[in-house]
Amino acid sequence: MSVKSAVLDLAIFGGEPPFDRPLHVGAPNIGDRDRLRELLDDALDRRWLTNDGPYVQAFERRLAERLGVRHCVATCNATTGLMILAAAMGLRGEVIMPSFTFVATAHALTWQGITPVFCDVDPDTWTLDPRQAADLISPRTTAILGVHLWGTPCDVAGLREVASRHDLALAYDAAHAFGTSLAGRSVGSFGDAEVFSFHATKICNTFEGGVVVTDDDDLAARLALARNFGFIEVDRVVSLGINAKMPEVNAAMGLVSLDSLDQFVEINRRNWERYRVGLENVTGLTLYDPPVPERSSTYQYVVMEVHESAGLSRDELGQVLAAENIGSRRYFYPGCHRMEPYRTQCPDSGLRLPVTEAILERTLVLPTGTATTAEALDRVCEILSFAISRASEVRVRLRSGSGRQV
């Protein structure tokens, strides 16, 4: 079957989907399986499966060296990392953060009794706008929490100036940004501390996990206490803590992932470029590629903007892709400010977030990573192009429910 005839056989027009197995956003990257099995067998033989084992310590050392920071504290996930960071920094009252992020960023603060104050983002980079953040500072504000969105670093200089001027703590949710840099400096070395995610969907993963990195010796000591119930010795607890420890099996996966990171980045770069070429002449579609000088990217995310000129909405294109067994995600729809409990607590937040509101309606994240193939990505582009070229017919099909159902 030719490419043209295959595309004309879209499921939305009654045909069958081209993919037997769905393409997913965030399908995990898997490194050297044999090496992973060796490490797991070694951990089992040693019978040291958690409680700051040798693989966790090795993972922390490698990360600290790579990121150019003094301290790396591994945690069971990034959300818990954010929680213990807020506690260790003594944050209270209000913390300014973007609504355009995964809801875990806000939840981590709320679990600590802190009120997230949602701030709009810069229209070019979609990261926290320092000028808007400055306008939201109140007597109750204790910190600013930026988010390096999809690996794009925040305006770190602008946020540092605002935080310093108002004597506020400054931290970053760097869940999307491992392996990225700004002007030759690794993300992870900005602010008072940063938190990375090593969830299975991230470019480097530990199945599930996170780390907090900092150059502050005292803060690192408090973080280490907080992640292990506040124990300073075997029978001595000196502060409030929680179980946020990373198990050995997770750290082993992390070490294997680090060994293959350059390969993962190169595959992502090729995938991103393939999407760029495949979609560059498609009306109404552009890829998120913010104008941030001297930034490096791991190309972990392929974020597509759907403009009005496409003739189909973002959600309609998502339905077309779903019918073809192609996963896509509306990150971070509908925005933290429209999720509970924040929607009820501050129902008018959206009025001060016009840029965020607009972005939330037009972004769609597409599959990439080592689980995809060049041929599959070409097909995704062809399907999008064909659907837009026959937008009016596609819309009729979607509204009537005819064709193959998702």
CATH of the domain at 286: 3.90.1150.10
Quick check: pTM over 0.75?
yes
324 located within any domain? yes
Among 209, 239, 259, identify where a domain stops: 259
Nearest to 16 by CA among 27, 5, 24, 25: 5
Pairing of strands 181-182, 185-186: antiparallel
What the block records as the tokens of 255 is 């070490």
> Do 268 and 194 reside in the same domain of the chain?
no
Among 244, 259, 274, identify where a domain stops: 259
Question: How many domains does the chain fold into?
Answer: 2
320 located within any domain? yes
Residue carrying structure tokens 């995704």 = 380
pLDDT of residue 18: 83
- Angular region, 203: left φ>0, alpha ψ -120 to 50, beta rest: alpha
57 located within any domain? yes
pLDDT tens digits, the chain, 406 residues: what are they?
334 434 456 777 777 788 888 899 999 999 999 999 999 999 999 999 999 999 999 999 999 999 999 999 999 999 999 999 999 999 999 999 999 999 999 999 999 999 999 999 999 999 999 999 999 999 999 999 999 999 999 999 999 999 999 999 999 999 999 999 999 999 999 999 999 999 999 999 999 999 999 999 999 999 999 999 999 999 999 999 999 999 999 999 999 999 999 999 999 999 999 999 999 999 999 999 999 999 999 999 999 999 999 999 999 999 999 999 999 999 999 999 999 999 999 999 999 999 999 999 999 999 999 999 999 999 999 999 999 999 999 999 888 875 554 3
> Do 307 and 370 reside in the same domain of the chain?
yes
Domain containing 230 equals 33-259
What the block records as the tokens of 320 is 């077309």
Name 186's bridge partners.
181
> Do 219 and 83 reside in the same domain of the chain?
yes
Q: Which residues contact 376 (CB under 8 A, 6 or more apart)?
A: 19, 23, 367
CATH of the domain at 234: 3.40.640.10
> Do 162 and 213 reside in the same domain of the chain?
yes
> Do 179 and 211 reside in the same domain of the chain?
yes
> Do 237 and 266 reside in the same domain of the chain?
no
> Do 275 and 253 reside in the same domain of the chain?
no
> Do 279 and 244 reside in the same domain of the chain?
no
Q: How many CB atoms lie within 10 A of CB 153?
A: 27
Among 240, 259, 278, identify where a domain stops: 259
> Do 220 and 272 reside in the same domain of the chain?
no
Q: Which long-range contacts (CB under 8 A, 24 or more apart) does 49-57 make?
A: 49/247, 49/248, 49/249, 50/245, 50/246, 50/247, 50/248, 51/228, 51/245, 52/228, 52/245, 53/247, 53/248, 53/251, 54/248, 55/248, 55/251, 55/252, 55/255, 56/245, 56/246, 56/247, 56/248, 56/251
> Do 251 and 305 reside in the same domain of the chain?
no
> Do 117 and 248 reside in the same domain of the chain?
yes
28 located within any domain? no
